[in-house]
Amino acid sequence: MSTADERRQAVLRAIVADYIANQEPVGSKTLVERHKLGVSSATIRNDMAVLEQQGYISQTHASSGRIPTEAGYRAFVDALHDVKPLSAAERRAILDFLENGVDMEDVLRRSVQLLAQLTNQAAVVQLPALTVSRVKHCEVVELTPTRLLLVLITDTGRVDQRNVDLAAPIGADGVRAVRDLLNDVLVGKTMRDASESLANLTMRAPAPLADAVRRASDVLIATLVDAAPDRLIIAGSSNLLVPSGSLQGVIDALEQQVVVLKLLASAQELEHVSVRIGRENEDEELSSAAIVTTAYGSGDEALGGLGVVGPTHMDYPGTMQKVATVARYISRILRGE
């Protein structure tokens, strides 16, 4: 790479960094004063003209400075080979906050609340999918003589609750028997793997419990196997309502679970942070946003996605750093470390 090309890259990095910090067009004089580029304003102006021709920056009007384009942000992100790590105090504070979660869902809820606060953007996390989570235990609680509560706990800490209405009371002994029958076919399996055994469980149940077992199995299959939408937790949507330009369309997209699930579907590689900028996002509702995502998991297996959504002028190095750190600590907690 020539000296001129290296200098233009430095100029582009400086323009992006200044615009992210101030959201104001950046001029050549400002660049020379702030960034000690070692050349004159005239040389910087020539470099800016070349960068504009290449599509990395644009000029809002004739007398203004330049602002980055989506291509400029992409070049900036692609050049971030090393993201500065958080300080030891920051990492300790994050881990302490997450470790105080009472269960995995609480840990994930804390993670998006924390990310929204740390980045001042919207944060979203996908709960571990039942397609990969294995059932650890199914508790059966008698709410009323004719209503049961099924509490399904997975090895990833996910907890799902379902009500089952009975045709007739089965008593405390019957409740315990239903619990044992369900655990016999569920424990150690994913819900999808256990679905056939659940469907046939009625034939194994004592006659007085057959109807209750059938109803419980039907509820589990209908709500956790056949219609098992991944659950999402979103925090900080209000951060996208800013005076300089509301991202209301992005907020509306976040409220559509399908759009967000598609967004996180690509986050399946642990320790890899992905950045999508503007029109790189397939959904039109997100074409004005930047999205930083990664995966969390246990061992080498990704269990869900985690991300931050904000404007294209977001602080990319800081956001990437915080998303990666929080995901890493979620994975550590999942592993019991």
Phi, psi (rounded to 5 degrees) for 201: -65, -30
Nearest to 123 by CA among 332, 326, 280, 268: 326
Tens digit of pLDDT for each residue in 23-33? Answer: 888 888 888 88
Nearest to 323 by CA among 283, 282, 290: 290
Tens digit of pLDDT for each residue in 86-145? Answer: 888 888 888 888 888 877 788 889 999 999 999 999 999 988 766 677 888 999 999 999
pLDDT for the residue 62: 64
Q: Which uninterrupted H or E stretch holds 292?
A: strand 289-298
Cα separation, 127 vs 253, whole angstroms: 19
Domains recognised in the chain with CATH numbers: 3-78 (1.10.10.10), 88-128+230-334 (3.30.450.40), 135-226 (3.30.390.60)
Q: Which uninterrupted H or E stretch holds 311?
A: strand 301-311
281 secondary structure, DSSP code: S
Average pLDDT over residues 142-158: 88
Q: Is the pTM for the entire model greater than 0.85?
A: no
**CA angle at 11 for the pair 6 and 14, rounded to the nearest 5°:** 125
Tens digit of pLDDT for each residue in 259-281? Answer: 777 777 777 778 889 999 988 88
Q: Are strands 289-298 and 301-311 parallel, antiparallel or unpaired?
A: antiparallel
pLDDT for the residue 53: 92
Tens digit of pLDDT for each residue in 57-88? Answer: 898 776 678 899 999 999 999 888 766 778 88
Cα separation, 99 vs 112, whole angstroms: 14
Nearest to 187 by CA among 162, 141, 154, 218: 154
Cα separation, 285 vs 249, whole angstroms: 6
Q: Which uninterrupted H or E stretch holds 141?
A: strand 135-144
